[in-house]
Amino acid sequence: MDLSTNYMRLALRNPLVASPSPLSYSLDGIKRLADGGVGAIVMFSLFEEQLREQAARSIRLVEETAESFPEALDYFPSVVEEDGGPRSYLVLLERAVASVDIPVIASLNGVTPEGWTDYARALQDAGAAAIELNIYYLPDVAMSGREVERRHIDVLERVRAAVTVPVAVKLGPFFSSPGEMALRLDEAGADALVLFNRFLQPDIDPEQLVVLPRVNLSSPVVARAARTWIALLRGKVRASLAATSGVEVSADVARYLLAGADVVMSTSALLRHGPGYAAELLDGLTAWMSRKGFDDLARVRGLLAVPAETDAAAYERAGYVSAMRAANAGAYNPW
């Protein structure tokens, strides 16, 4: 059974990709993911705030040193940083690339175009096979939708111009027109679109009167929005399509591939069951393909995508009407 695939110019041994998680915070975790069988690894995200903090710390140390030792103005003190900071991230990336035989993709998480390009080059120089831009942005209530969209395009264009490795954009679902946003990013040079990012949805404790910033593991139900848009975008964009969130069993991987995903990313399932669970997901996918008579992924991918010539709005409307009729007829099954 041939599970090999291509993802934004990268040759992968299979379509299962480990998305950012605590498992990639250490070299041991990265090795365990690779040994578990995934086709590629996206490292945990380096946050724009960390880059700003390190830059500010460096400036403060230089200024303090200059005041204390004016005769040594050319001395630049080393900056001590915590694990997970920019410098340690680069070291871990270099060691990971040297230690595993699958592509290691770096991740940058931020919102503004400034300050990304230099570090994107550093990630490339450290051996990153590609860079995933995780553009996490909650706009001010007065900011227009077009301004928010323009910010995404600006970030992509600046990073794209600074590096030669492939660049993916991880998108949230909350655009007024996710399809048009995907097309604009495709035109701006995105090598892959990762659908969808899950935004922080804090809870409120009414007894303690505090806001609780919780991050919950995903469940299969959240996959439906991503599958819908992947099925609609398949054949309409040049960029690779990556699915993320909602993968728990091998059937979830198959669903995404049938919708048109080039790769399927998983975090929650690998955290719940351990890196070795990747092999179970792939074994289940292989068994399903064999049972259905598919001998390679090319025959699976996009089989149930929306045909390129179809009126997408009419297609979605028809599906909505059918679902409502089924529910009203008592055929609704919540499971």
Q: Does pTM top 0.75 for this prediction?
A: yes
CATH of the domain at 114: 3.20.20.70
Question: What whole-number distance in Å separates Cα of residue 59 and Cα of residue 56?
Answer: 5
Say which amino acid occupies 69: F
Regions in the chain scoring below 70 on pLDDT: 48-84, 111-115, 137-138, 199-201, 214-220, 309-335
- Confidence at residue 40, expressed as pLDDT on a 0 to 100 scale: 98
* Residue 136 placed within a domain: yes
CA-based torsion, 206, 207, 213, 216: positive or negative: negative
The owner of tokens 């080039």 is 262
* Residue 310 placed within a domain: no
Other Cβ atoms within 10 Å of 142 Cβ, number = 6
Nearest one of 216, 178, 172, 174 to 195, comparing CA atoms: 172
- Confidence at residue 55, expressed as pLDDT on a 0 to 100 scale: 43
Find the radius of gyration of the CA atoms of the chain.
Answer: 22
Question: What whole-number distance in Å separates Cα of residue 42 and Cα of residue 107?
Answer: 7
Other Cβ atoms within 10 Å of 295 Cβ, number = 11
- Confidence at residue 257, expressed as pLDDT on a 0 to 100 scale: 98
Can you give the residue range of the structural domain that contains 202? 5-304
Question: Are 242 and 262 in contact, with CB atoms under 8 Å apart?
Answer: yes
The owner of tokens 């993968």 is 247
- DSSP calls for 2-36: B--EEETTEEESSSEEE-SSGGGGSHHHHHHHHHH
- Confidence at residue 140, expressed as pLDDT on a 0 to 100 scale: 75
- Confidence at residue 200, expressed as pLDDT on a 0 to 100 scale: 66
Q: Look at the chain and report how many structural domains it folds into.
A: 1
Which residues have CB under 8 Å from 78's CB, separation 6+? none
- Confidence at residue 117, expressed as pLDDT on a 0 to 100 scale: 81
* Residue 205 placed within a domain: yes
* Residue 88 placed within a domain: yes
* Residue 220 placed within a domain: yes
Instruction: For the chain, give the longest Cα–Cα distance.
Output: 85
**What pairs with residue 244 in β-bridges?**
265
* Residue 158 placed within a domain: yes
* Residue 319 placed within a domain: no
- Confidence at residue 189, expressed as pLDDT on a 0 to 100 scale: 97
* Residue 245 placed within a domain: yes
Question: Are 106 and 96 in contact, with CB atoms under 8 Å apart?
Answer: no
Nearest one of 39, 29, 46, 253 to 131, comparing CA atoms: 46
Question: Are 151 and 137 in contact, with CB atoms under 8 Å apart?
Answer: yes
